[in-house]
Structure 1
């Protein structure tokens, strides 16, 4: 993991919450949706199938753990999980809580509107609750 470098766009658009076994857990800087990222700390990996079988298992476990915690914390109608990589090729998995009536429901979140920063107190409360749920 010492060779791992986070893509500068992921660095700019999110902040580190914690490091899990394989992945950095990051919060997107957009308060319109509870939106998390898992970034496997492996260099030059763009696709899930490029991970070793053990890392694939860890990614699945961490994705499911984070998604379940996000569901408990937010009581969202739906948890969206996806690894797109069209704009940022470094492998990363989006985990987003969606609610009826949220911005662009039921459409996709990508490319919709302008990011709205978190109020610091709301962000800290959300992160504290999320980390406890993990």
Structure 2
């Protein structure tokens, strides 16, 4: 079976770039600097469903993009998680948080309705992340 993006991820995120292993997507919620990495591996649900070399690549991409998110203005803490309770397809959240954000200090998942990016805001952040992704091996 070929890789296909879960419809809920498609609806909630904006495409940024393809890294070596993952589709890199931006959660369409301007309150957080929130990336979602989706390994392009058919039927992967858990991290341990990946071949060992793909697991290593996924972690490499998470670390690189986590450091990018952590360096964005206003980010105090980076949360990384692969929950999958609502969407079974393996996807890894990298969420830039700041003290006083709407969900602080609790989790962002399910906290409140998203505030979508304006097209200009989304384009600027997508460009920044896509440029960074293109610089990765």
**TM-score of the superposition, structure 2-length normalised?**
0.91
Displacement of 1:127 in angstroms is 2.1
Equivalent residues of 2:21, 2:40 under 8 A apart: yes
Distance 1:74 1:96 in 2: 13
Q: What is the aligned partner in structure 1 of residue 81 from structure 2? A: 82
1:82 shift after superposition: 0.2
User: Residue by residue, what CA displacement relative to the aligned partner does 1:11-62 show, whole Å, maximum 9, x if unpaired?
Assistant: 1111110000000000111111111100000011100011100000000000
Q: CA deviation at 1:74?
A: 3.1
Cα shift at 1:104: 1.4
Structure 1 residue 132 displacement after superposition: 3.6
Contact 1:72–1:133 (CA under 8 A) maintained in structure 2: no
How many pairs does the alignment contain? 133
**For structure 2, which runs of at least 5 residues remain unmatched after alignment?**
none
> Helix, strand or coil for the counterpart of 1:17?
strand
In the alignment, is the contact (CA less than 8 A) between 2:31 and 2:101 conserved in 1? yes
In structure 2, the partner of 1:120 is 119
**Unmatched 5+ residue regions in structure 1?**
none
CA drift at 1:124: 1.5
RMSD value, Cα = 1.4
Question: What's the CA shift for 1:122?
Answer: 1.4
TM-score by length of 1: 0.93
Secondary structure of the corresponding residue to residue 104 of structure 1: coil
Asked whether the equivalents of residues 24 and 38 of structure 1 are also in contact (C-alpha less than 8 Å), the reply is yes
CA distance in 1, matches of 2:110, 2:42: 27
In structure 1, distance between residues paired with 2:84 and 2:4? 16
